Amino acid sequence: MTALTVTMQADGLVILDGDLTFATINKKTVKLIDFKAVGQEVIIDFSKINQSDSAGLALIIEWLKNAKTAQKICKLHHLPTQLLTLAQLSGFDMALYFPAHA
């Protein structure tokens, strides 16, 4: 298990590093991105994620809801294939949030 780190840069880029799993996510993780404090657009980069599971998908859904509430645009880049598969199997509306390619 690799601990999850969330790094917010001034330009609205959020870099995730580590594992996105039940073992690394807790209630505080949802609040690590303050959508009200950033510009109009937030880009979450998943390129440094090693492992992911359904807890990771749940976290993404919460972040998307928080972005919508704050009236911000949230883009997801370099999503792991495992998360894309989980989203598809869960019936999550892929076309609205997930890019055609990981």
Per-residue pLDDT of the chain (102 residues; tens, 9 = 90+): 899 999 999 889 999 999 999 999 999 999 999 998 888 999 999 999 999 999 999 999 999 999 999 999 999 999 998 988 888 888 876 666 655 543
| DSSP H/E element including 44 | strand 41-52
Phi, psi at 44, each rounded to 5°: -100, 120
Q: Three-state SS for 75? A: strand
Helix axes 81-90, 54-69, angle to 10 degrees: 80
What distance in Å separates the CA atoms of residue 20 and residue 96, rounded to the nearest whole number?
A: 22
Is the Cβ–Cβ distance between 8 and 40 less than 8 Å?
no
Domain covering 5-97, topology = Transcription Regulator spoIIAA (3.30.750)
| Strands of 5-8's sheet in order across | 5-8, 13-20, 41-52, 73-77
What distance in Å separates the CA atoms of residue 34 and residue 82, rounded to the nearest whole number?
A: 26
pLDDT at 96 (0 to 100): 67
Domain limits, the chain: 5-97
pLDDT at 102 (0 to 100): 39
